[in-house]
Structure 1
Amino acid sequence: MELKKIQYFLSIVEEGSLSKAAQSLYLTQPTLSRFLARLEEEAGVQLFRRNKDSSLELTEAGEAYLNAAKKINRIWQSLEADFSALKESESEHICVAIDNDGLHTFVRSCADVIIKKYPNVTLETHCLNSGEIQRGVLEGKIDIGYTSYYQFKDELSYEHIEENEINLVVSKNNSLAKKYCQIAGQKNVRISINELPKSTPFLLMREGHVLRQCIDGYMETHNVTPYVPTTYFRLDYIGKILSDDDTLVGFCPNNHIFKELCYIALDPPLYHKRGLCYRKGRKLTEAQKLLVGMMSEAPKKWWRE
């Protein structure tokens, strides 16, 4: 039996239907249906009974196949554990990527703890943008990434760390600031993106950045086609750009504080998610598990930018 066939078969048994199994395996139902048809053809017996409600039940031959599949799967899991132990007894290199220079100190403090416990481990850190991090993890060049994300990639596992609300931001001389600062002391004061004039000039992050994807998705949902005369590539620049142009309206996560700007909450709210990612199905080494645990459980103050 091929390992992939075993995993697919076990998932079908566990879920009890092709549709649910396909969803858990991130496959289309027709793909999994063809797999099962080929599997039964190769076995020369019917492994499942198809019920009228689309549920599946094991036949007697299917029960025998299940017992064999479980044994092989246990052997493989044991072998993986042995390989992992062997790998950890040798030198291990962990590549971590972060999307914020300010996190280097914290990651290095985590590395010191790991190296003290696992002297054979070396840890390399890179600062990249969100797209580069997720691509690097998918390609196996990066072991663990800390990044922002707007949409989940099926091939990655995520450890959610924090979620920050994204506000509109304007110069204090902007007409919006003058209007909303008068009631800024009240709670739950928000503005709909549709209340803004169609001619509103927006300052947005360059296309391809996760923050831009998040904002573009929000605007599309609310049927807004933004006029974007100006873009930028680092969030650090937004304060100066908006201060120099009183007409522009930008977006900024509320964990970035620019004292020279006025923050206006959106209705409905827009959120920016951040966390750790690594390849789905990958068996983390003990050192990697420790690193993920420390970074996941870190106080939020470490993640403030």
Structure 2
Amino acid sequence: MMEIRVLRYFLAIIKEGGITQAANSLHLTQPTISRQIKELEEELGKQLFIRHKKGQIELTQEGLLLQNRAEEIIAMVDKTENDFRYLTDIIEGDVYIGGAESHIFRHIAIIAKQLQEKYPNVRYHLSSGNAEDITSLLDKGLLDFALIVHPRQLPHYHYQKLPSQDIWGVILPTTDPLAQKDSITLEDIQHLPLILSRQALTKTQSDNQLVNWLGDLNQLNIITTFNLSYNALFMVEEGLGYLIGFDQLTYNPNLTFRPLEPLLTSDHYLVWKKDKVFSAAAQLFLEKLQG
């Protein structure tokens, strides 16, 4: 049976770039690490590393698969240990929150700041990603809460609506002629190069406001898709296309935002699993949110 200790050795080899380096970082001998990895490979019946000259290593396909699984397992073990470590009368510990890039996170920050004044030993760990990535982490127990747009798609979760909305629009260079308009219609951008979230393109029209607004995607000139908007904004700045996304995603003085017409907004919700047993810190955060 795989041991957590050996999985940590395995990940250390990947992080340090070799068995010798991992042994040094873990203050163990190289033969000890090598023996443990050999036994792990024998247990799995798969080769995890390709050994090259001068101690260099390369992950096999099976090694890559185990890396993904091991990282999830170790993260879950560490989170569980932290949750139990802080089961005391003194409220302290960790709160794990994930969500897409949005100014709605400011509401999370306000609550965290209010709690910090009374509970300075509560720490927050933020993860950014699209709804699919974030809800996957939520399902695996690696997050306490997720900030998403469509709670009706998540029947196994509790949720609470947050008090503000995101506005959909186009992010474009300030020098672009369309920047002179107060709002952007579909006709304005129908034949222009567009930069869109992959999540927006994979959702069905029944549960996606943006797809409903855009209509037939096959009639659009989509030149770039993205997961998170930060890197995509460089494409906009260089004049490659027009990014359709939420307001307040950029503070770049060379870029500006114009809302869609007709106006399109999205509510945001904080969701959590119905069977979730919270740490004291996470429970405190939820009570403050609901209060």
TM-score with structure 1 length normalisation? 0.49
Q: Which residue of 1 aligns with 2:170?
A: 168
User: Cα distance, 1:213 vs. partner?
Assistant: 8.2
CA distance in 2, matches of 1:222, 1:210: 10
Q: Which residue of 2 aligns with 1:143?
A: 144
> Residue type of the partner of 1:192?
T
Query: Cα distance 1:149–1:211, how it changes in 2: closer, same or farther (>3 A)?
Result: farther
Task: Compare CA radii of gyration and give the structure with the larger one.
Answer: 1
Does 1:196 pair with 2:188?
A: yes
Q: Which residue of 1 aligns with 2:9?
A: none
Does 1:134 pair with 2:135?
A: yes
Give 1:53-202 correspondences, 5 Å limit: 95-99=95-99, 109=113, 112=116, 115=119, 125-129=125-129, 130-145=131-146, 147-152=147-152, 153-161=154-162, 162-178=164-180, 180=181, 184=182, 190-193=183-186, 195-196=187-188, 198-202=190-194
> Residue type of the partner of 1:196?
D
CA distance in 2, matches of 1:235, 1:191: 19
CA RMSD of the aligned region, Å?
4.1
Query: Cα distance 1:106–1:154, how it changes in 2: closer, same or farther (>3 A)?
Result: same
Task: Name the % identity.
Answer: 11
Q: Deviations over 1:226-262 (max 9, x none)?
A: 321123343223443212116x221232233443223
2:215 to 215, 223, 232: 223
Query: Cα distance 1:211–1:106, how it changes in 2: closer, same or farther (>3 A)?
Result: farther
1:208 to 183, 194, 199: 199
CA distance in 2, matches of 1:94, 1:159: 21
Query: Cα distance 1:233–1:285, how it changes in 2: closer, same or farther (>3 A)?
Result: closer
| Contact persistence 2:200–2:211 (CA under 8 A) | no
CA distance in 2, matches of 1:174, 1:167: 15
Q: What SS does the aligned partner of 2:237 have?
A: helix
Q: What SS does the aligned partner of 2:216 have?
A: coil
CA distance in 1, matches of 2:201, 2:158: 17
1:243 to 233, 237, 262: 237
CA distance in 2, matches of 1:238, 1:223: 22
> Residue type of the partner of 1:276?
L
Q: Which residue of 1 aligns with 2:32?
A: none
| Contact persistence 2:148–2:271 (CA under 8 A) | no
User: Cα distance, 1:291 vs. partner?
Assistant: 0.5
Q: Deviations over 1:156-196 (max 9, x none)?
A: 11122231111112222323224x1xxx4xxxxx4432x23
CA distance in 1, matches of 2:118, 2:139: 24
Q: What SS does the aligned partner of 2:199 have?
A: coil
Aligned residues: 194
| Contact persistence 2:151–2:271 (CA under 8 A) | no
User: Cα distance, 1:136 vs. partner?
Assistant: 2.4
User: Cα distance, 1:137 vs. partner?
Assistant: 2.2
Query: Cα distance 1:213–1:289, how it changes in 2: closer, same or farther (>3 A)?
Result: farther
CA distance in 2, matches of 1:114, 1:97: 20
Q: What SS does the aligned partner of 1:170 have?
A: strand
Query: Cα distance 1:241–1:279, how it changes in 2: closer, same or farther (>3 A)?
Result: same
TM-score with structure 2 length normalisation? 0.51
Identify unmatched segments of 5+ residues in structure 2.
1-85
> Residue type of the partner of 2:259?
A
> Residue type of the partner of 2:228?
R
CA distance in 1, matches of 2:235, 2:290: 34
Does 1:268 pair with 2:262?
A: yes
| Contact persistence 2:97–2:127 (CA under 8 A) | yes
CA distance in 1, matches of 2:97, 2:151: 19
Does 1:255 pair with 2:234?
A: no
CA distance in 2, matches of 1:177, 1:229: 20
CA distance in 1, matches of 2:111, 2:88: 23
Query: Cα distance 1:196–1:262, how it changes in 2: closer, same or farther (>3 A)?
Result: same
